[in-house]
Structure 1
C-alpha cells in the first residue's frame, strides 16, 4: 500500500486519507458494475493509500453497502473508515426523520456492512427543515449513545443548509459539492467548518466527469446513467449532475480547465488536487468504475501543490463561465 496524507475528520477523532473512494458508481445510477470489477476498484483504491470509503443506503438500494461489507470481510488488513448515509429511501418528508426510522435505517446499514457500529452516518440531503430540527439531532445523539453509530454528519445541497448544520455541536462533518465548477462553499462554509472543528467531505469533485476533459458535446451516456436522466433535476437535485452546470457550457469550460493541468497530472487529477488544497477540506471522494480510474484518483494526492497561477486561473474561469448559472442556486 502506498502511504497517503491523512487528515482528521472533524469531530470523529479519526483520520482519513485526503483522497477517499466514493461508491455511488458501485451501486448503480452510472451503469452496471459487476461485483468482481467493484472489488478490483476498491482494491486499487486501498493499494493507492485510500482509507476512506463513502457510501449510502440508497446506492443500488443497499448494493454499494453490501459490496463494501463483503470486500472488507475479504480484506481484514485494510484499515478503512466507512461513511454511509440515510434518509433517501423514504419519502422526502420532514416527519419521516424520526428516531424509530433512524434505528431501522441504521440496522439495515449495519447488516449490509457487517458491523455493529457504523463509523459515520450522514443525513442524506434531507428536506431543508430537517437541518433545523432539535428532535432530529436529539435522535442522532441517541444513536451514538446506543452505539449504533460512532458519529454523525450531514450531506447537503446548499451552503445555507451546511451553515445551519454546522451550528450544531454534534455534527462531525459536512459533505458538500465542491469542485472548480462549484466555488461557493469557499466563501463561508469551509471557514465555518474550520471554526467549528467539523470535517469537510468534498463530493462530485469532477462535476460528474466533466472535469476529466473526456466528454464532448456528442457524448452519449447510458439510459440508466443519471447523466442522461437527471440533467434538469428530473430524478433528484439538479446540482448532483454535472454540478448543475448546463452540459454544453460545462464541456466548453472543461476544455479550458484541461489546459490548466499541471505537468504530470491529468485534468481529473488537477481538479482533485485543487480541492485537496482548499483550506478546511478533509477528504475528496471521487468515484471510479475501473481500476485505472481508482489508481489515477489516488495519484492526485502525491506530487507538488498546484501553483498560485493555476488557482487564480480556476477562479477566473469560474467567474467567466460558471458563476452566473450556479453560484446563487446552491
Structure 2
C-alpha cells in the first residue's frame, strides 16, 4: 500500500485508510467480533490509518480500536480521532477545558497516553475563525496529550480557513464523484501549505457502491433513514447531500463507464486517491470482505487496469449534468 506524508508530522499513512463510523453501530448493529475482524483485515492489507471519533457509538468505536491495537505491539497504525460533537454545536462549547476533557476521554477509550491526531469534528465556522481555538489545541500538544491536530469540515470555506492555520496537520472533507467542489481550491491550497487531506464519505454513504436500488431499505437507527434531509445533522453527511434517486441514476451511469471487471466502488476509491493533494481516502467497512475490497482498490492505480483519465472525464460529465447545480453551491 502506498504511504503518504501526514502533513508535517513526520508520519506516513496509507493512501487508503479505514473510516470506523460504522463500527460504532450508527449504521445498524455490528458486533464486536466482526468489528475486530474488520480492523484486522484492514491492517493485514496495509492500512495504517484508522479514523474514528468520540461520538461513534458514544466511544464504542474508539474502545474497539484500542482493544485491537493493544493486541498488536508495534502495529505502526496512526489513529485519528475527532472531538467536539459530545456537546451542543455552539461556539462557546469549544473551550480549552472541554478540549482537555474530551481528549482525556479519548485517551482512556483508546488506552494511550498521547493521541496521534485529534480533529475538531465539523465545528461551527466561528470556532475555526477563533485564534483561541488553536491556542488551546497547541497547549494540548505542548502538554503531550495529543501529538497533532486537524479539523474535519463540512464546507470548502471552512477547509480553507483551517488550512491557513499554521498548526493544522490535516483537514478532513467529503470528496467523491458527487462532491467535486474541493478539487477547485481546497486540494491545491492544502498541497501548497503542506496540510494533509483526508477524503471522507468517499462512496457517498454507499450510493457509489452500486448495490442500492429504489427498493433498498435501511434500518431505523441508520442515518441513511433518519437524516436524508438533515433532520439530525448536516444533510451533506448522508448520501453527500444528493437526492437518493438522482444518486442512483448517477451511480448507474458511472458504473456503465467502467470496463468489465472493475467495480464502481473500487474505481471511485482509486480515483479519489489519485487526485493531487489527497493524502488518504477513508472508506468505512462493516465486513471483512468490504475492508479487503476497499484496500485492494489501491491496486487499480498505476498499471492496475483503471484508466483514471477516462473515469475522471465520466465523473465530471455526470456531475455537471446531474448534480452540480444542486450540490456545488452548498458545500
TM-score bucket (shorter structure):
over 0.9
Distance 1:58 1:278 in 2: 29
Matches within 5 A, 1:269-284: 269-284=266-281
Q: Bigger CA drift: 69-78 or 22-31?
A: 69-78
**SS of equivalent to 2:119:** strand
**SS of equivalent to 1:257:** helix
Matches within 5 A, 1:309-324: 309-324=310-325
**SS of equivalent to 1:253:** helix
Partner of 2:298: 301
Partner of 1:166: 163
Give the length in aligned residue pairs.
327
The counterpart of 1:52, out of the listed 49, 53, 62, is: 49
Structure 1 residues 304 and 86: alpha-carbon distance in aligned structure 2, compared to 1, 3 A threshold: closer
CA drift at 1:304:
3.6
Conserved in 2, the CA contact under 8 Å of 1:24 and 1:287?
yes
**SS of equivalent to 1:10:** coil
Matches within 5 A, 1:129-208: 129-208=126-205
> Segments of 4+ in structure 1 off by > 2 A?
260-265, 303-307
The RMSD of aligned alpha carbons is 0.9
Matched, 1:15 2:12: yes
Conserved in 2, the CA contact under 8 Å of 1:212 and 1:258?
no
CA drift at 1:303:
3.0
Partner of 1:117: 114
Conserved in 2, the CA contact under 8 Å of 1:262 and 1:270?
no
TM-score of the aligned structures, taking structure 1 as reference length = 0.98
Partner of 2:125: 128
Matches within 5 A, 1:258-277: 258-277=255-274
Distance 1:149 1:107 in 2: 10
Partner of 1:40: 37
**SS of equivalent to 1:62:** helix
Distance 2:91 2:176 in 1: 29
- Residue deviations 1:102-143, cap 9 Å, x none? 000000000000000000000000111101000000000000
CA drift at 1:263:
4.5
Distance 1:109 1:231 in 2: 29
Structure 1 residues 54 and 323: alpha-carbon distance in aligned structure 2, compared to 1, 3 A threshold: same
Structure 1 residues 262 and 65: alpha-carbon distance in aligned structure 2, compared to 1, 3 A threshold: farther
Partner of 2:230: 233
CA drift at 1:77:
4.3
Note the residue ranges of structure 2 that are not aligned, 5 or more in a row: none
Conserved in 1, the CA contact under 8 Å of 2:267 and 2:300?
no
Note the residue ranges of structure 1 that are not aligned, 5 or more in a row: none
Conserved in 2, the CA contact under 8 Å of 1:11 and 1:173?
no
Conserved in 2, the CA contact under 8 Å of 1:22 and 1:54?
yes
CA drift at 1:261:
2.9
CA drift at 1:310:
1.6
